[in-house]
Structure 1
Amino acid sequence: MNINTTDMCSSVPFNITKYFKIPIYSIVVAAGLPLNCLALWVLIFQIKRSITLSVYILNLVLANLLQTLTLPFWMYYSYHDHCWHLGKAMCVVAGLAFRTNFYAKNNFLCLIAMERFIGLVHPLKFHRLQTISGAAKVCTITWFLVVVLCSVGIWLQVKGPGLWQGQHCLDEVPLHYARFKVATTSLSFFAPFLLMGFFYFRVLFELRKVTSLEKKVKRQIYGFVSLIIASFFLLFVPYQVVSYYQYLSIVILGEKESGEFERSIFICFHTTLSLTTLGNILDPLLYILLLKDVRAELKDLICCKAHKTGISYSLKEQGLSPRCTSGQMLDQPRS
């Protein structure tokens, strides 16, 4: 927020965010961590089978995990009415981690849609992207670009005299940072959003031509893709629209004239921001745990682990080594 630090606490309702941020972030941490860890466990086995899509989803899950781990810092910040007592370095690290993983998720969601589009519409044309190494290179480039853009943004936000008062963490929006955000939002959000919509609508269009699929299966796919698009639109678009409107108002009106406008949208800005973190719960559900083949594989993995645990326990009772295989057990002489 671009507000004079002398009257910041008195003019901005910093004490209100704790009433919705802490409950939402607590739910995300409590549910998001186990769900994403479970999804990560399943994806490791998927990658071993050379499934290209799993590379993009794995990076999405990693971004979810890393962002979720920063939420306790922002819960602490909201609880203390946006007064940061952990130092400038920790503020920069936590802010960079949160923003990097936020925009990385947008790009990986777009890459997931791209992979499904290529696999259905152009399975032979982009064969280099449909390999594990090709997907890994694309993800590495994506991470690099996002980290660079977010690092430049935070540097612009904290540089200069008066922008760090030791009290608020990344709440001030100076004019040069607002210009940077207006210039880069099209690259960091609008382009991935439009591309993701294009890819999924093309997938739905091409599915209509596939005669080998039953109508019931097609309806399930239509519903699944529609759910993905709707969840992205409801969770991410409101914050991007509000934040872009805020930055654009600062650029047009100037720092002094835009102060009152920023104060008026403060609650809306932070409400929509906190809602974006609910994607850390929905992503592993939509992209991992709701898929029939993944659920079947997860069930097999759990049953396999339980079977191995049962065998080890039985062997210990018989005084045998748990490292014996089932074939070795058959070779044991019967008493």
Structure 2
Amino acid sequence: MFNSFVLMVFCFHKKVCTVPEIYLSNLAAADLVLVATLPFWAVNVSSRYNWPFGTPLCKLVNINISMNMYCSIYFLVLISIDRFVALVHPLSQTKMRRPKYAKLCCVLVWCFGLLMNSPALMYRKVGHIPSINTTLCYFDFPNPFVDMLISGIQILFIFIIPVSIISPCSFKIIKALKTRENTQKKEMKATTLVLAVLLAFLVCWIPFNLIGIVKLIGKAGGIKQCSIAINIEISHQVFLYFALFNSVINPVLYVIVGKNFRKKVKELINQWSRGENTSINYTSSSV
């Protein structure tokens, strides 16, 4: 609901979206894709992972969840790079920070998310497991090496690479804000919102990715005790829910921290109220 509201504000506001707003609106769209599939996930968890929806929805729901993971992270990467260019290298921003380039980058991120979800199309399936008497939606890899390879690629692209870009950019952004007193007020407001969104991302996603690395070590044979492996799997599920909660936090941050966003909301409400008054006056004059 909140993500739909954020998208509505960005889409229906009469002013053209700035580059940060283009990235934030796509981030809200990625969060909305995830939220739309959460009811299926909730039913699955409440029925003790007994999947009742068939193979097509098994693939689609998990692809949407993974799409949110990849796309959200790389929209945040784009946002951090944009803020880095705007504050640390302001002279070059007129060439690099153009809306058409931002839209192109967003299209590439969505395509990248689809590409990274090709394993789900290939290996996700629904099957009955007699040992636990449950019908699961699970990955059916041809061999353990493929499982480890895909897990390693996932950790590389959703944790190591993004964090290695976001962390130095955020550090230099904060340093620039401290040393530069004449930063434009508009840039300060946008940067404050971005830093809040980045902090929420790091808090929500780092535990999930760290336990993912531990789980990968276990797949490689580094963890042999069954009790430890079970605890790792339970922790992985818990931290996954915590990471997905990031999609709920983001739109709240737009309202709490984003002064420009609140201004857009007020302008949009005034825009609609003026439109309704114009429509009423026109109807009255016609009568």
Distance 1:243 1:46, change over 3 A: farther
- Asked if residue 195 in structure 1 is aligned to residue 165 in structure 2, the reply is yes
Task: Map 1:192-231 onto structure 2 (within 5 A).
Answer: 192-212=162-182, 227-231=196-200
Give runs of ≥4 in structure 1 deviating > 4 Å: 45-48, 171-174, 220-226, 257-260
| Gap regions ≥5 residues in structure 1 | 1-32, 322-335
Counterpart Cα distance in 2 of 1:253 and 1:73:
34
Query: Which residue is equivalent to 2:277?
Result: 310
3-state SS, counterpart of residue 92 of structure 2: coil
Counterpart Cα distance in 2 of 1:87 and 1:157:
11
Is the 8 Å Cα contact of residues 196 and 257 (structure 2) preserved in structure 1? no
Distance 1:184 1:85, change over 3 A: closer
Letter of the 1:87 partner, please give it. Answer: G
Distance 1:259 1:140, change over 3 A: farther
Q: CA deviation at 1:200?
A: 1.5
Q: Which has the higher strand share?
A: 2
Deviation string, structure 1 residues 45-77 (Cα, Å, up to 9, x no partner): 569525122221121111011110010110110
Higher relative contact order (CA 8 A, sep 6+): 1
Counterpart Cα distance in 2 of 1:227 and 1:276:
16
Is the 8 Å Cα contact of residues 40 and 61 (structure 1) preserved in structure 2? yes
Letter of the 2:138 partner, please give it. Answer: L
Is the 8 Å Cα contact of residues 152 and 216 (structure 2) preserved in structure 1? yes
Query: Which residue is equivalent to 1:29?
Result: none
Q: CA deviation at 1:170?
A: 2.2
- Asked if residue 183 in structure 1 is aligned to residue 178 in structure 2, the reply is no
Query: Which residue is equivalent to 1:278?
Result: 245
The correspondence for 2:122, drawn from 138, 155, 161, is 155
The correspondence for 1:169, drawn from 134, 137, 162, is 137
Is the 8 Å Cα contact of residues 192 and 257 (structure 2) preserved in structure 1? no
Query: Which residue is equivalent to 2:25?
Result: 58
Is the 8 Å Cα contact of residues 128 and 134 (structure 1) preserved in structure 2? no
| Gap regions ≥5 residues in structure 2 | 130-134
Name the count of aligned residue pairs.
279
Is the 8 Å Cα contact of residues 39 and 289 (structure 1) preserved in structure 2? no
3-state SS, counterpart of residue 286 of structure 2: coil
Deviation string, structure 1 residues 77-128 (Cα, Å, up to 9, x no partner): 0121101121112101111111111221011111111111111222343655
Letter of the 1:198 partner, please give it. Answer: P
Distance 1:302 1:72, change over 3 A: same
Is the 8 Å Cα contact of residues 178 and 248 (structure 1) preserved in structure 2? no
Larger Rg: 1
More displaced 10-residue stretch of structure 1: 121-130 or 97-106: 121-130
Query: Which residue is equivalent to 1:240?
Result: 209
Is the 8 Å Cα contact of residues 70 and 97 (structure 1) preserved in structure 2? yes
Query: Which residue is equivalent to 1:333?
Result: none
3-state SS, counterpart of residue 206 of structure 1: helix
Is the 8 Å Cα contact of residues 106 and 192 (structure 1) preserved in structure 2? yes
TM-score by length of 2: 0.84
